Amino acid sequence: MRWTSWAEFWAMGGYGLYVWGSFAVTAALMVIEVWQARRQRADTLLGLHRERALQAGEAAQAPVAVSKDMS
Amino acid sequence: MWLGRAVAPTDAQQGEGYRIIFVHVPASWMSMIIYLAMGFWSVMGLTFNTRLSGMMTRALAPTGAIFAFLSLWTGALWGKPMWGTWWVWDARLTSELILFFLYLGYIALTSAIDDPRRGDRAGALIAIVGAINVPIIYFSVKWWNTLHQGASVSMTQAPSMARLMLWAMLLMALAFWFYAIALVFYRVRTLILQRERQAQWVQDLPEVAGGVA
């Protein structure tokens, strides 16, 4: 270790703003990206759920209509 | 990251500011590699008319765009203290900026076209034609006189940077690789579910079928 104190670590020899600015934005964007991918998956699954429920609902209706026509 | 931040020795010329390299270089590499991958999958898709190729290309785009942005952002933060400027219109920076715009263009175009397959094909053109930009970025520091420094890591010669720095940087690059691969595959799995929703196997998945009467 070449750091003699935490303060020195954070300061990064005067370049603290630039170095931490870089690392912080990188970390933040990666977190956001993962969150976005998860959101997308959750939304897709929800959409598929709903579609399936809708189709199940329609299937339940159909036999009634057919027998009416046949009478 | 620990290596990069805590252990690697202070660079003789640039002081502590150089540590940005540990994200800047890996991000740049990833932005280039991912675009090449998009080009590859686009060629596959157009040649074999496979659905998955288009999905793969789409899944790659957001990750690649973010890396391109990070490359530019971290580059600017490095440039300001080192060379006194956030930006300069030299060959490398400009071509990386163009790469970023290509990513955005791809995402915008594919989002705008309703029919997924047509969207894939239109996007494929951007991916393939734009891929020519990647070798330009790579060789730009050699071909033109740029503010951006020349290559210090090459396949044929011994690198001109300290060993520990090099290892830390390569480790970060590997970490970015894994991150990108994991995220892209996660994303393409979601795309597959969306696109193939009519298929029986999708309907049978526990995540979809479970909980519905």
A vs B: CB pairs below 8 A? 96
Of A22, A34, A56, the CB nearest to B74: A22
- Residue whose structure tokens are 């094909």: B121
Q: pLDDT tens digits for B25-36?
A: 899 999 999 999
Q: Is the ipTM of this complex over 0.90?
A: no
Identify the weakest region by mean pLDDT among A14-23, A32-41, B143-152. B143-152
Measured in angstroms, the CA of A64 and the nearest CA of chain B are apart by 19
Interface test with A, best of B7, B14, B16 (most A CBs within 10 A): B16
First-last CA distance in chain B: 49
Q: Does A53 touch chain B (CB under 8 A)?
A: yes
Q: What is the DSSP string of chain A?
A: ---S-HHHHHHGGGTHHHHHHHHHHHHHHHHHHHHHHHHHHHHHHHHHHHHHHHHHHHHHHHHHHHHHHH-
Cα–Cα distances (Å) from A41 to A33, B51, B75, B185, in that order, read: 12, 19, 33, 12
CB atoms within 10 A of CB B199: 12
What's the pLDDT score for residue A9? 62
The chain-wide mean pLDDT, for chain A, equals 75
Higher pLDDT, B30 or B9: B30
Predicted confidence (pLDDT) at residue B106 exceeds the cutoff of 90: yes
What's the pLDDT score for residue B61? 94
- Is A30's CB within 8 Å of B27's CB? no
Average pLDDT over residues A36-49: 90
User: Which tokens sit at B92?
Assistant: 């490398």
Q: pLDDT tens digits for B171-209?
A: 888 888 888 998 999 999 999 988 888 887 777 777 766
Q: pLDDT tens digits for B123-174?
A: 999 999 999 888 888 888 777 767 677 665 544 445 555 677 777 788 888 8
- Residue whose structure tokens are 């490095």: B78
Predicted confidence (pLDDT) at residue B78 exceeds the cutoff of 90: no
DSSP for residue B5: I
Radius of gyration (C-alpha) of chain B in whole angstroms: 20
Phi then psi for A4, rounded to 5 degrees? -95, -10
- Is B197's CB within 8 Å of A48's CB? yes
What's the pLDDT score for residue B160? 54
- Work out the pLDDT band at B97, boundaries 50, 70, 90: very high
CA separation for the pair B183, B166 (Å, rounded): 26
Q: Does A50 touch chain B (CB under 8 A)?
A: no
Phi then psi for B15, rounded to 5 degrees? 65, -150
User: Which tokens sit at B89?
Assistant: 């219109």
pTM of the prediction? 0.79
Predicted confidence (pLDDT) at residue B94 exceeds the cutoff of 80: yes
The chain-wide mean pLDDT, for chain B, equals 81
- Is A52's CB within 8 Å of B209's CB? yes
Q: pLDDT tens digits for B45-64?
A: 999 988 899 999 999 999 99
For residues A29 and B70, the answer to whether their CB atoms sit within 8 Å is yes
**How many degrees, rounded to 5, is the angle at CA B103 between CA B64 and CA A19?**
50
What's the pLDDT score for residue A13? 63
Of A22, A40, A52, the CB nearest to B208: A52
